[in-house]
Amino acid sequence: MKKQTNNSCDLVLLRLIALSLVGICIHPSYITLGAYLLLSFIVIVMNPTLGYCIWIMSYSFYYTLGDVLNFQPHYIFFGLMFFSMLMQLFRDKLNKLSSGLIMFFLSFIVIAAISTLTSRDISYSIAPLMLVIQIAVLFILVESTLKSDKKIFRLFNYSMLLAVIATFVVLLINGDILGAGRIGIGGNVKKVANIVTPTILILTLQMYDKKSMYYPEKYSLPKLGVFLISSILLLIFTVSRGPILAIAISIIFVLLIHRNRIFNKKDYIKFVIVIALFILVIALLLPFINSSITNNELERLYKDKWSENPRWDIWLGALSELEGSEFLWGAGLGLYQTLELISGHNYYAHSVYFDTLVTAGSIELLLLISFLGYHFRLIIKNKNLYGTGILTLIIVTYSTHGSMTGSQEFWVMCACVVASNQIDWKE
């Protein structure tokens, strides 16, 4: 009974955090921001591990929080994470840290430091170096916390679902849906898409992996269906091509690789029927969505529009500006857009991997790729559905957008993958 009570209390606390984020979006002010921070402080004191849940839930609202703060909210998020760690230490509940991850990130930080010392503009690269250190600490703490208890992991998954629900609530209350074009929070669609896609994946796994429980509560099939359709619609509203392509590839890959675990012969028919119904519902809604909600922005998904994507020019332009040893150590952390301007463009990297290559060098990129490859092999070996789906999702998603230090959700989701190898999702 006590465990059930604690679980219910945690769910209520996370829902209150979601409501406070809705409040900031509806009435952005220091008062609503203060209420969010005070509530986060209280929640973390009550249960320090929920600090990481607050972190991932808040990330969809990154730019709204930034507008109220008048500076990048990286530092607020780092404060939440650091306070969670201190409270865990205070309660003697900080989980065992992975020596392998510590060695990986020490190597990653050393190379990033060399890149900073050899940077074209050292003063500009110092702040991104601090972000690399912050990312390392965040990754190690999230991984150690999630792998310690599947109940915490389930709450983490639930927090992403809450972020999706809260986003829908904000859009409905503010009346930002009809005729809005590409829909995002705080004027940005990517942060929303980056939280919606793992939610879609986890909901799909929950529908078909009957032996496992990915959320702290059991949901009926109709309820899962409502959550899933709503999440898919929100992703379509963002008209974010990379995440849309990534989630399709991830779900198909998981269902193909692990089909014998998920399906029996009867389930194949059920699967085909459900997928057909989903496609039918979405297809029927697309004309309305395109004309009344996205202002014909869905035309970006047409085949002939993909050729207009400037990413190859963005990537090759920055690469062409590297000289000599910069191919090894990079031009300097945070300097991607500087090289872009020299090459005649004005874009950020639009790829975690190209940003790593250009700013931190080929050695850093090789280290990152080796890390991802090792864990991809491990999750396949362990028949880890969750890890397979999430890692496939982030590999594909962040190949076409994001940056090494600007996309902290990339690293947090990687931490989820590593932690998931230690989790048995059965009830």
- At 364 the three-state DSSP class reads helix
**Three-class DSSP category at 188:** strand
Is residue 39 assigned to a domain?
yes
> 271: closest CA among 254, 249, 287?
254
**Is 28 a domain residue?**
yes
State the total domains in the chain. Answer: 1
What pairs with residue 256 in β-bridges? none
What tokens does 105 get?
Answer: 């990130």
49 occurs within a structural domain: yes
Residue 194 near residue 235 (C-beta atoms within 8 A): no
- Round to whole Å and give the CA distance between 128 and 155: 30
- Flag whether 26 is in a domain: yes
Tell whether 22 is covered by a domain: yes
To the nearest 10°, report the CA torsion of 49, 51, 56, 57: 110
Residue 130 lies in a domain: no
Whole-prediction pTM: 0.89
Question: What is the mean pLDDT, run by run of 10 residues, along the chain of 427 residues?
Answer: 64 95 91 93 92 90 84 79 84 75 95 94 91 92 90 95 91 70 70 90 87 90 88 84 87 79 64 72 71 64 61 82 89 86 77 92 95 93 91 93 89 94 84
Q: What share of the chain is helix, strand, coil (3-state, %, to 5)?
A: 75, 0, 25
Question: Can you tell me the distance from the alpha carbon of 31 to that of 33, in angstroms, rounded to the nearest whole number?
Answer: 5
233/314 Cα distance (integer angstroms) = 30
Task: State residue 212's pLDDT score.
Answer: 86
Enter the tokens of residue 303: 């085949």
Is 197 domain-assigned?
Answer: no
pLDDT of residue 306: 58
Task: Give domain status of residue 65, yes or no.
Answer: yes
Which range of residues forms the domain containing residue 89?
1-94
pLDDT at 1: 42
